[in-house]
Amino acid sequence: MKILVTAFGPFAGRAENASSLALHELRVVFPEILTRILPVDSVLAPAQLEETLHWLRPDVLILLGEAAGSNSVRLETTAWNELDFKIPDNAGRQPTARAILPGSPASLSATLPMGEFHTLLAANGHAVSLSHDPGRYLCNQVFYHSLAFIELNAITCRAGFIHLPLAQDYPTARAAAALGHLLQAL
């Protein structure tokens, strides 16, 4: 089974991103997974993800991002067809109240078993929650874009998005352990 796990690089003037920190640690334990670090850029990130999905054709796609202010691993169940950036991306773009893909559905659902993932993580002592709101920043954008691209191109791939708390709120080793439980379950 080909598993692709993506994360984001730093943004908003910070030197690190909790998602890429966890991904680097996860890769040590699971060297067979395919990984990509996406730029915090509303044009480049979807394009790079699309190209990666086209060439790799993974069976599973796990998208990672960070959620400041959260103290639990958030399993996102729904992607929304809306861009409404509260801060600019790293290229200075700040779209507001705009569709990701005009004419497409208002929302798309994760195709990974997020409810089962929730049960598994909770049973292993992780702070975890199901979320129906991944925000309207790049996390939501790549989540929606990937689900739409997978469907449009008839790629057999289950996909979902996971928000991780900042490293100071949920240590990187703990976040990587949570992700490891999910990979083992797959």
Furthest-apart CA pair in the chain: how many Å? 42
Q: What Å distances lie between residue 37 and 23, 59, 86, 124, 179, CA to CA?
A: 9, 18, 22, 27, 16
Catalytic residue among 25, 66, 76, 82: 76
Q: Which of 66, 82, 126, 139 is catalytic?
A: 139
Is-catalytic flag, 151?
no
> Considering 66, 145, 157, 163, which one is annotated as catalytic?
163
Spatial separation of the C-alpha atoms in residues 39 and 45, rounded to whole Å: 6
CA 4 to chain centre: 11
Active site annotation includes 139:
yes
Residue 163 falls in the annotated catalytic set: yes
Residues serving a catalytic function are 76, 139, 163
